[in-house]
Amino acid sequence: MGNVLQEIASNLYDGEDKGVAGLVRNALDSDIDPQEILSAGLIAGMDKVGKDFKAGVLYVPEVLQTARAMNAGMEILRPFLVQGDSGFSVDKCIIGTVKGDLHDIGKNLVKMLLEGAGYEIVDLGTDVGSEAFVDSIRQHQPKLLGLSAMLTTTMVYMKSTIEAITASGLRDSVKIMIGGAPVTAEFAKQIGADAYASDAASAVEVARTLVASATN
Ligand code: B1M
């Protein structure tokens, strides 16, 4: 089992989108747990990409190719992750990456696992301004809003988004969860978010707790 997961990670690192898709299929055919394929294959590969990007070993075009490979793998894995465990809830959740930020791999993972947990997701995509979040809350009346940011320069827009939601009078109608590599629980507290989640799996737990506290 280790081999195919390592191959997924190394094909992802090399940006081999077809290779990653095929290997993910093989791993599923061998009955490897989809969560294991995600964490020990795809995310492990992306972690190495992150380290080498930081160290100047990889450059933006190569990282973009790895992102394509990640998405190719996630497309195959998605139905197996979203089969999920609850299946009956239709609570709505709006999710998006904040203004100025184009990173969407982590946000898409959170989205997939929330879908798997039974939430109906409205995905606003990336580079989403505060007004778009406010308009979408007004339109969809979700129980939960998820904000993602991957840059220290864009996490500040989480604060302005929450301020805009408060100014629009909608703050009490929705619970707000934030996440992304530079974000912390401390920061969530500072900007008035309801919770922070460190990864996609804990985002599901946090979402459940928040939605339950809103309902009770
Ligand atoms: Co970017 N980038 N990038 N990048 N990129 C980082 C984030 C960086 C840390 C790399 C580095 O220097 N080591 C660095 C940020 C430094 C900083 O601000 N402190 C960086 C930089 C600098 C940049 C550019 C400025 C580079 C440039 O142009 N000079 C530029 C900015 C573009 C922009 O957004 N305006 C840029 C561009 C890009 C690409 C387009 C090439 C590509 C993005 C492709 C895409 O997303 N479609 C890219 C990538 C791929 C990365 C790295 C390598 C990988 C990010 C990723 O997808 N990780 C990243 C380095 C790294 O993170 N190690 C890096 C895998 C993913 C599964 O993890 O996104 O952390 P992550 O999501 C996790 C958790 O954070 C959490 O759950 C997820 C799953 O477990 N989570 C949430 C995320 N959102 C959540 C929301 C929640 C809850 C949990 O609730 C709502």
Q: Is residue 87 part of a domain?
A: no
pLDDT the model gives residue 86:
41
Q: For residue 1, what pLDDT is reported?
A: 56
Contact 173, 206 (CB under 8 A): no
- Rounded to the nearest angstrom, the distance between the alpha carbon of 138 and the centre of ligand 1 is 29
**Positions of the chain with pLDDT under 70:** 1-2, 82-90, 116, 215-216
Q: Are residues 43 and 104 in the same domain?
A: no
Provide the pLDDT for residue 73.
92
With respect to residue 86, please indicate whether it lies within any of the assigned structural domains. no
Q: With a 6 A CB cut-off, is 152 part of the ligand 1 pocket?
A: yes
Name the residue type at position 169: G
Give pLDDT, residue 79: 87
Residues 132 and 207 in one domain: yes
Full-model pTM: 0.84
Domain count, the chain: 2
Bridge partners, residue 122, by sequence: 94
Using a 6 Å cutoff on CB, does residue 45 contact ligand 1? no
Q: Is the CB of 194 under 6 A from ligand 1?
A: no
Question: Which residue's alpha carbon is nearest to atom 87 within ligand 1?
Answer: 179
Nearest C-alpha neighbor of 130 from the set 162, 153, 104: 162
